[in-house]
Chain A
């Protein structure tokens, strides 16, 4: 009996250790921002009364959002290289892109190639969902107000591209399609996390939608079970 307990404990420890090993390490970091961003631009939604009444307060453009702690929001951080030859299971649960208050939620997002993207229309108005993808087939899909949900799948990995609504020209979001699950978007504190990255050396890229904020890369080595801190700093363009 005692031997059985020992065996069970040993197996448990081994299982736990293997889980840690399989889980890999985390990459955590912050996107700092130097300088001042563009003056926040209030979006005029008068063109569609449904959009206008959906907001009691002004809604501002999400193109360049500098947080109060001088960090940058909506930066897509992802592993650019170092994962070649590895395959990762595609999550069964869909990524949700909602059209709510005539804004896209989330504004910047990622999905794995082959993963279902559930596009919702929570508004009582019409939208068109116009994908500007180049590797995956472009589409322009009607979403009348009675159509509340449609699924789409992007089959191939593709660098970040825009999806927009031409009915409401201020609506534009950005999506990256990855061959792996290691991507994250900086939040309202400028923070991001890439979880359970296998041990190895990687090039990590930080991308922002503004062409004036060029993408940055850093090379790091991840060790199993460790959390690595990786910060990026973007600077506002300066006048010469």
Chain B
């Protein structure tokens, strides 16, 4: 739990680094302006250094927590696959740290930066998985109950939802790292229409406004990335609502899933509002970063729901799957 929340905090701090354009404010790595990272004076944490150095400090904390977690699992966990999962998560966080360093040393190449953003989410999911498979709910003996016909349907939808959110986060990372976040200035319309025109006239109009704001011109490619992210949001919204309705309607199943489905809907509405505000506020730093963090939280919640659904709704095929555990 602690590692999971710290990771979410780390994703927020990482989002702040991108939102403020501070990624290269500390030119060296692993040192900070030639000093050992933990010896860097607080008084020198000014401007972009505040965001970048804080991100590195929180990342170190998460790394240390993950070391403790992996060692703890290695020493106490009986299930071999859970121990291995611990080592995989530790490897992921080390790789993520190295990737962060490479990003700095190679001066922020877009593919490495996007990979750094994606691996952050992947590590977050691994930590959630570790948290769940070591939880009392997952490990305790449960009552058996008959399988209902809706089980497969719910499994499919929740998997689809988590996959879509992950893809949407990937698109979001691409949008941020290619400077396409303000390719449109309006919402819910995109360039005055629900379905963007992508015409030369529209690009000219948008760039005319960007000139007034001293922003660099955008291209059709940036418009496409941004618009695809909006379409992705629509797809995610439909998937979340459908999953939630299906979980809610399944009377014979697990009631404890319902609050999670409700929380996902609330988070979804918040996330769409933050996305709209990001555009309308001209990418105000706190709002933009909150949008990144809420996206990660939505992914985490959806992934946790998926794990729980898979736990409560096992596959209907096979001799031992006629019954499933029930938690009410």
8 A Cβ contacts from A149-167 to B = 165-167
Distance of A73 from chain B, by nearest CB (Å): 15
The interface-forming segment of B21-29, B73-81, B122-130, B162-170 is B21-29
Residues on B with beta carbons closer than 8 Å to the beta carbon of A236: 211
- Interface presence of A140 (CB below 8 A): yes
Q: Is the CB of A142 within 8 A of B201?
A: no
Q: Is the CB of B24 within 8 A of A64?
A: no
Residues on B with beta carbons closer than 8 Å to the beta carbon of A240: 201, 204-205, 208
- Interface presence of B33 (CB below 8 A): yes
User: Of A125, A144, A210, A211, which is in contact with the most chain B CB atoms at under 10 Å from its CB?
Assistant: A211
- Interface presence of B114 (CB below 8 A): no
Q: Is the CB of B47 within 8 A of A38?
A: no
CA distance A179 to B124 in the complex (A): 52
- Interface presence of A1 (CB below 8 A): no
User: Of A48, A63, A210, A237, which is in contact with the most chain B CB atoms at under 10 Å from its CB?
Assistant: A237
* Residues of B in contact with A, size category: 20 to 34
In the complex, residue of chain A having the shortest beta-carbon distance to the beta carbon of B212 = A38
8 A Cβ contacts from B257-290 to A = none
| A211 and B46 in contact, given A140-B107, A142-B34 (Cβ under 8 angstroms) | no
8 A Cβ contacts from B211-242 to A = 211-214, 216-217
Q: Is the CB of A239 within 8 A of B208?
A: yes
- Interface presence of A107 (CB below 8 A): no
Binary contact track A21-49/B, C-beta < 8 Å → 1, others 0: 00000000000000000110100000111
Distance of B212 from chain A, by nearest CB (Å): 5
In the complex, residue of chain B having the shortest beta-carbon distance to the beta carbon of A238 = B208
Lowest 5 CB-CB distances: which A-B pairs, in order? A166-B25, A48-B46, A167-B47, A140-B27, A166-B24
The 8 sampled A-B contact pairs (Cβ below 8 Å) are: A47-B48, A61-B214, A142-B33, A142-B34, A167-B46, A167-B48, A210-B214, A212-B217
Name B's A-contacting residues (CB within 8 A).
Answer: 20-28, 33-34, 44, 46-50, 52, 107, 201, 204-205, 207-208, 210-214, 216-217
9 new A-B contacts at CB < 8 Å, known A168-B48, A210-B214 = A47-B47, A48-B47, A128-B24, A142-B33, A144-B34, A166-B48, A167-B47, A238-B208, A240-B204
